[in-house]
Amino acid sequence: MESLTNENAEKTSQENRVTSTYEVAMEKLSSLITQKKRDGTSPISDLEKRDRMLKYIEILGLEKHTGDLKIIHVAGTKGKGSTCAFCDAILRECGFRTGLFTSPHLIDVRERFRLDGLDISEEKFLQYFWECWNQLKDNIMEGLPMPLLFQFFTLLAFKIFASEKVDVAIIEVGIGGTFDSTNVIKNPVVCGITSLGMDHMEILGHTLGMIASQKAGILKPQVPAFTVPQPQEAMEVLYDRANKLMVPLKVVAPLDRKKMLKDGKLSLSGDHQFTNAALAISICKSWLKTTRLWQPKNADWEETLPDAFVTGLSRAHLSGRAQIVHDDSIISTSGINESYLGGLIFYLDGAHSPESMEACARWFSTAVLENKNLSLSSSCFKNQTPKRVGVDGCIPPGDSQESFKTSKILLFNCMDVRDPQILLSRLVNTCASSGTHFSKAIFVPSMSAYDKVTSGTSSIPSNLHQKDLSWQFNLQRVWGSIHCEKDVHVLDHNPHMATSGNVPLCKFLFEDASSCSEGDGNGIGSSAVFPSLPSAIHWLRNCVKENPSSRTQVLVTGSLHLVGDVLRLLRK
């Protein structure tokens, strides 16, 4: 017994040491964050940054290793992460060891580095982190400081994938393409460009053609490349660049779900995912043909997807994109599955461009409709005895959707460089066209610190209630003007001094807001500003518990930081 106690104590001590070392690594990473503005101003030029990346690769001895990696390189405005996740899942099902590098991370930095579909372990992360950090630190000099944060992440990804001897490295571009840190890749096996739109204009340019030119910067001479249908202005730029480099660029049509998939469904929700899936299929087929490492059992794989592809498309995962989470804290208080009988359900989809917000709105509208139809059709009997067990999909006679008051709530934040008028208008109008309407909107400040890299175990900041809420009150004003179709002026609530007690009563969540009149406290009819995200989540949970006959469906969108923060809080 004493031996077992000692073993447990030693294990706990070791875990604490790893956690402590991990937090030190987070502090080191935080030191690489620059205060560069989103207007693109920087003390060094893009060409200088690229030259430095090549020197860092030389210091780490990665020149040959990066050349040996069989890389898939993906750029684009929308759908990069989803396309990469599909590629990763497909090639794993084909039997390959995969490495996946994506951004941003939502909860823990290790999410950026996946091996065989799983986040890299803390032990391996720390091993490769310190190897890279110490080598670079020992070689900095005048004119060659430590890398910028995303440069370091990219170098670390190359180090991990080369050391782990992955069969394929799937690399997602950070921003743009031409001058992105990942674009030191000289000989990828295949490149992909996802849907293009207006985003990061202050860095990439203010026209779709300029943005397309930056994305096309990842194309390499005679390396196969694929894209999806694009606006004409963007398509012309892509074709022009491809022709100059003698690149066989092919445009991929969206996936025919009935023809190609057994049940017509993908693991990632939303109609736009059929476009991303089709691109991933073409990329993977090209990679397999070029490397000649795998042959499908069915020879005619142009018309019929190999089973490994179908399975991969059904197993790909990407947190914070079209993700539905049932709040465990609510479910655990009842003996039923709240997905059928009320409860608190979070629909999470980071969307910070107008096009992404429209896709988010379509997905949310479809998802809540499917949830409603599932509830209405789920009544069933076993031995003529109704059961209330959600896993059986059963609802007693008389229990239907009408028995539960459903509220659709928007939980939103975005960076102040975004235009909330465009984003919120696109969201509201797209949802309304499908018959989906929000009864309330909640605006919260960011919980994450933009100047600090955190882990999943990092403590929640203690000063959350001291944040300046002026931007959130501006979002509320915009919402009021859209929701009520008239200008709404918010009373001066002294946003700098907001306190945890400054929240609405629970009846606010369920009352009719159709009058668009100014409410009490910090809610104006259909909206409220909360001093912090934890206080908003706590309030939602309490209100739903006080009203067991309610179903509250919360769409969390806008900033991916907000999505990550919500996921982090729901885990605790």
Residue 340 banded pLDDT, cuts 50, 70, 90: very low
Pairing of strands 385-386, 381-382: antiparallel
On whether both 403 and 534 belong to a single domain, the answer is yes
393 vs 209: which has the higher pLDDT: 209
CATH code (residue 130): 3.40.1190.10
Average pLDDT of the chain is: 83
- What's the confidence (pLDDT) of residue 476? 94
Residue-number span of the structural domain to which 421 is assigned = 323-571
pLDDT score of 520 more than 60: no
- Whether residue 256 is predicted with pLDDT greater than 50 in this model: the reply is yes
Q: Is residue 32 domain-resident?
A: no
Does 25 map to a domain? no
> Is residue 420 a contact partner of residue 478, using CB atoms and an 8 Å limit?
yes
Q: Same domain, yes or no, for 514 and 551? A: yes
Is 496 a known ligand-binding residue?
Answer: no
Is 172 annotated as ligand-binding? yes
172 and 303 fall within a common domain? yes
Residues 358 and 311 in one domain: no
CATH code at position 451: 3.90.190.20
Are 358 and 250 in a shared domain? no
Residue 495 in domain:
yes
Residue 5 in any domain: the answer is: no
Let me know if residue 298 belongs to a domain: yes
Of 76 and 512, more confident: 76
Task: Looking at the structure, tell me whether residues 327 and 343 fall in a common domain.
Answer: yes
Does 321 appear as a known binding residue? yes
Instruction: Flag whether 200 is marked binding.
Output: yes
Q: Please tell me which of 5-14, 191-200, 448-457, 522-531 the model is most confident about, judged by mean pLDDT.
A: 191-200
Task: Note the pLDDT tens digit of each residue in 423-436.
Answer: 999 999 999 999 99
Q: What is the pLDDT of residue 315?
A: 95
For residue 3, being part of any structural domain is answered with: no
Q: Are 436 and 368 contacting, i.e. CB atoms less than 8 angstroms apart?
A: yes
| pLDDT > 70 fraction of the chain, expressed in percent and rounded | 77
| Residue where a domain terminates, one of 315, 335, 365 | 315
> Residue 553 is inside which H or E element, if any?
strand 550-558
Residues 423, 465, single domain; the answer is yes
Residues 457 and 356 in one domain: yes
Within-domain flag for 376: yes
Give the whole-angstrom CA distance, residue 338 versus residue 342.
5
Asked if residue 539 is part of any domain, the answer here is yes
Domain count, the chain: 2
Domain stop point among 315, 350, 366: 315
315, 348, 367 - which closes a domain: 315
